[in-house]
Amino acid sequence: MFTLLKKEVKSFLSSLIGYIVIVVFLLINGLFLWVFPMQFNLLDFGYASLDNLFMLAPFVFLFLIPAITMSFFADEKRTGTIELLMTKPLSDMQVIMAKYLAGLALVVFALIPTLIYYYSVYRLGLPPGNIDVGGTWGSYLGLLFLGAGFLSIGLFSSSVTNNQIVAFLLSLFLCGFVYIGFEFIYSFNLFGPIDLFIQQLGISAHYSSMSRGVIDSRDVLYFLSLIALFLLLTKVSLESRKW
């Protein structure tokens, strides 16, 4: 499994895909946070806070992560190499985990350079260091979990089709729905006593909770359950080729 993981990571870093994803993520966030005179601009915000980064980054991930994962299995199916891959002395879950962890490594690589933003805001505070450190690191952890959740959804989407565009659109829809769809349903107040339960089914409520700097075990369990569910669905999808 580690050999396949190393191969997947190397394939990202030896091609333009990995670098394009990282550069696009940093460029979009950088322009909105430091250049464009909009509500996200940190210099116009008036407070030493990275809240705008953590509001903007999930929507950037919403498009970038499906773009990363759309070829994971769809391209293997299209070219016929999926059968060769599955004949290796690895279980289906080991293959899935290798691809998943490779994608997660790329997400981490994209997040690491944003620590420059943290250092900049830390130094720009009055006095320097006047920033909610706990809330910031909680938000980083929440963003990592959010990216990990999107990756598992994207992996599943790629496993159900051999068309990369279809995989991208399906992943975009599912990630968007799980992120903000349940919030919209909750806002309509249609289900009375279970409205709050419906809200808790979405990523947004748990991501917001972690962004306050309080790491609640319920939020961590939610993300781990979401990731496990879609990885399991991916396994079922791949096994269906044998039926």
Total number of domains in the chain: 1
Predicted structure pTM score: 0.90
- The DSSP secondary-structure symbol of 40 reads T
How much is the mean pLDDT over the chain? 84
Please report the pLDDT score of residue 18 as a whole number: 75
Structural domain of residue 99, as residue ranges? 2-242
User: How many angstroms separate the most distant Cα atoms in the chain?
Assistant: 65
- pLDDT for 46 equals 67
Q: Is residue 156 pLDDT above 90, yes or no?
A: yes
> Token pair of 198, please?
């419906």
Average pLDDT over residues 156-182: 92
Give me the long-range contacts of 8-14 (CB less than 8 A, separation at least 24): 8/98, 8/99, 8/102, 9/102, 9/105, 9/106, 12/102, 12/105, 12/106
What is the structure's pLDDT at 242?
Answer: 61
Determine the distance from the C-alpha atom of residue 143 to the mean position of all C-alpha atoms in its chain, rounded to a whole number.
7
Least confident of 29-33, 147-151, 153-157: 29-33
Lowest mean pLDDT among 18-27, 38-47, 167-176, 188-197: 38-47
Give the percent of the chain with pLDDT over 70: 93
Contact 60, 29 (CB under 8 A): yes
Q: In this predicted model, what pLDDT tens digit does every residue of 71-117 receive, in sequence order?
A: 888 877 777 677 676 666 778 888 889 889 988 998 998 899 988 88
47: helix, coil or strand? coil
